[in-house]
Amino acid sequence: MSNATAPMGVLIAPDKFKGSLTAGEVADALATGLRSAGAVQCELLPLADGGDGSVDAAVASGFARHALVVPGPTGQPVKASIAFDGVTAVVEVANTCGLGLLPDGRLLPLDASSRGFGESVLFALSLRPARIVLALGGSASTDGGMGMLTALGFRFLDASGHSLEGNGRNLGRVHSVDAPPGLIGVELIVASDVHNPLCGPDGAPAVFGPQKGASLADVAALDAGLTHFVSVLTSGGFENAASLAEHPGAGSAGGIGFACLLLGASQVSGADYFLDLLDFDTRKDGCDVVITGEGSIDEQTLAGKLPAAVARRSGTRPIIAVAGRSLLPRERWPEMSLSRVYTLTDYTDLDSSKDPGLSVELLRRIGREIGEGLGRLGGM
């Protein structure tokens, strides 16, 4: 720990402010404010939990970025990237076929495809990694991973023997499947904290379909299509397809989780896996104070989202949370061992979530206030 003359060591380890700032932008803004207060030594560790921003977080921690172009959710070319450190590759749905890549933001629940994600996995395989981490958050599609599997060499045929494109609309038209020999020869890890099965009242269409623009009729069609898809895969030699469809997490990313399990992927907690992957424990050991946060701190945060995992693994160090807003009353801060919560809503009446520039300005101001407070504490 610090002595009276050494600068206070602060680890800034936030998640993204969804829809506003990346985790790296949040960390940079806070660090700028902290440093302006003096007597503070900052270490930045932008984080992710297996959702969107996972590739950026891995790159920020030292992985190399590899750029590629893949079909977006509607087939249009999009610039994507993966992260690779020579052993582990990180690929993500959000930057290949995510909701944020839909042209003009137009939701297409039946026609969006996961093919671009499959092509990013294929690219990662060309780098010969020991393992691939599959970050599944933010998908635009509900195709059960049909598009992803098509990119990896699967052929899905209709009753006339014609190949089908992988999307939700075609799930019910699949008559047979032609799978490539020797599927994936590396370790696959699904880093996710989604526990929904593929189908049914808690499945991907019912729970996540409406967020992707699915009407009640679309939800019913997608659920029936996925059920049929599983049946065809079972008949096509994947005898465990039905049990995998029931597996917690199979419904993540519109059923891409199911396709990953079908390929032999193992599933782990996204928050804790990324904290390990990005070497959080070593980074925090050299610091006196940990700052974490996300766009909204609420009941879901307490249920195990990334800031809660950071707090749990920070030991006895003071933990400060910074968020766009907080729905967590002060009396519940001890559940995350929080010494203080700063929110952007305390500093403006404007909607900072729609104004990244304002968010950065407020985070710098908050960072300076935190730095001044830590400076007054001196060595802890």
pLDDT at position 2 is 45
Residues 116-132 pLDDT 10s: 999 999 999 999 999 99
Q: What is the mean pLDDT of residues 35-51?
A: 91
Give the SS3 label for residue 250: coil
Q: In sequence order, what DSSP letters do the residues of 94-113 get, joined into one string?
A: HHHHBGGGSGGG---TTT--
**Rounded distance between C-alpha atoms, residue 176 and residue 239, angstroms:** 14
Question: For residues 336 and 181, which has the higher predicted lDDT (pLDDT)?
Answer: 336
**Mean per-residue pLDDT for 358-374?**
96
Q: Give CA–CA dist 365/347, Å, rounded.
A: 9
C-alpha closest to that of 380 among 292, 304, 283, 290: 290
- 343 Cβ neighbours under 8 A, 6+ residues apart: 297, 322, 323, 324, 325, 326
Runs of H (alpha helix) within the chain: 23-36, 54-60, 94-97, 115-126, 146-151, 204-208, 216-235, 241-246, 256-262, 270-277, 280-285, 299-302, 306-312, 356-377
pTM for the whole thing? 0.91
Q: What DSSP character marks residue 63?
A: P
Q: Are 53 and 90 in contact (CB under 8 A)?
A: no
| DSSP tag of 48 | -
Q: Which of the four pLDDT bands, split at 50, 70 and 90, describes residue 192? A: confident
What is the DSSP code string of 281-319?
Answer: HHHHHT-SEEEEEEEEESHHHHTT-HHHHHHHTSTTS-E
Q: Is the pLDDT higher at 151 or at 40?
A: 151
pLDDT at 207: 97
% of the chain residues with pLDDT over 70: 97
CA gyration radius, the chain: 22
pLDDT grade, residue 303 (50/70/90)? confident
pLDDT, the chain, mean: 94
Sign of CA dihedral 270, 274, 275, 277: positive
35, 23 contact by CB (below 8 A):
no
Length of the chain: 380
The yes-or-no verdict on residue 3 having pLDDT over 90 is: no
Q: Is the pLDDT of residue 378 over 80?
A: no
Report pLDDT for 34: 96
What pLDDT shows up at residue 132? 97
- 183: pLDDT confidence band, cut at 50, 70 and 90? low
pLDDT at 377: 60
Give 374 or 219, the one with higher predicted confidence.
Answer: 219
Residue 89 predicted with pLDDT over 90: yes
Judge whether 350 and 365 are in contact, CB under 8 Å. no
Q: What is the pLDDT of residue 1?
A: 46
Mean pLDDT over 253-262 rounds to 97
Per-residue pLDDT, averaged over 127-141, amounts to 95
User: Which two three-digit tokens encode residue 167?
Assistant: 């999307």
| Residue 380 pLDDT level (bands cut at 50, 70, 90) | very low
Q: Give the residue among 46, 143, 47, 50 at the shortest CA–CA distance from 93.
A: 50
pLDDT mean over 137-149:
96
What mean pLDDT is predicted for residues 45-52? 92
Res. 379 pLDDT band, cuts 50 70 90: very low
- The per-residue pLDDT for 5 is 58
Strand 77-84 and strand 88-92: pairing? antiparallel
Task: Give residue for tokens 């038209």.
Answer: 173
Among 170, 168, 171, smallest CA distance to 142 is for: 168
> Strand pairing partners for 320?
291, 340
Other Cβ atoms less than 10 A from the Cβ of 325: the count is: 16
Are 213 and 219 a contacting pair, CB within 8 Å? no
46: exposed, middle or buried (Cβ count in 10 Å: 0-12, 13-18, 19+):
buried
Confidence of residue 18 (pLDDT cuts 50, 70, 90): confident
pLDDT tops 80 at residue 39: no
